[in-house]
Copies of this chain bind each other. A is one copy, B any other.
Amino acid sequence: MNGIRLSIQPRKWYLNGMLQDAALDSPDERNGSARARGSTVEHVFLHLKDGILCGRYAPGQRLIEADLTRDLGVSRGPLREAFRRLSAEGLVESVPNKGAIVRRLSARQTQDLFDIRTALEGLAARLAAQKVADPQVRAEFERAIAPIWIEEPRDVAVTYLDENRIFHQAVADASGNEQLSSLVRQLQLPLIMFQLSGALTSETLRLSNQEHRAVARAILEGEGERAGALMQAHLDRARRFADNLPRGVFRDGER
């Protein structure tokens, strides 16, 4: 009694990032074999990623191959390839003979993830403070983090989570270490489930934003050590916050 099987709005694809209707872009419908090569996996991947992040696929839900191949109109090969990419990003986990299920972190795993993020993003902030000496990096960084300076209070949690993700990614990108950047992206994704927790208060968001600003200022002033320490303190507070979430958010039993 664990397979929930949400139905998917039928026959829509993401093609190069744009949402399109299926019938409009398949020139010959007789077997649907004529789609831009190399894009099929990407379609499936983006559809599932988006679906997981938006909650269309719930944590713990099994992703049945037959259902998805039917609903998305692709064969099992590309679907499995997409599963594997999602697995690499930490959004699903593959269990032998059971297939792919939407990842659901235990409280312990969440804490562990925060420990890792603290170390890596502390490093990223330190490196970023060095790299902002380069005008191009500085310009790109300032452009990316612009939203954090907006004064209006954040009331919609979902919107703020996006702002949060963008800030952390901007710091990582400014570090100039591409592998670090992609690791940070990968480690941030599985935590999106907080979207569903509803525990983010307006005050929490304000505090988080203030910490973001402090980190950003330290980076822009080139003070690497301080930026790293501030980022670590920020993530440490987030870790404690996550530890106080209701147990229901996490995978059953474990604590």
Which residues does A use to contact B, with CB under 8 Å?
A: 37-38, 77, 80-81, 84-85, 87-88, 96-97, 109, 112-113, 115-116, 118-120, 122-123, 127, 177-180, 183
Contact = CB atoms under 8 A, between A and B. Distances in A.
B81 A112 contact: no
A63 to B, nearest CB: 16
A179 B96 CA distance: 19
**Chain copies in the assembly?**
2
A173 B81 CA distance: 30
Contacts of A118: 123
Given A119-B119, A119-B122, 20 more contacts: A37-B97, A38-B96, A38-B97, A87-B88, A88-B88, A109-B179, A112-B177, A112-B178, A112-B179, A112-B180, A113-B179, A116-B120, A116-B123, A116-B179, A116-B180, A116-B183, A118-B123, A119-B120, A119-B123, A120-B120
Contact of A81 (B38, B84, B115, B119): B84
A175 to B, nearest CB: 9
Contact of A116 (B85, B97, B177): B177
A112 B113 CA distance: 21
A22 to B, nearest CB: 23
A53 to B, nearest CB: 20
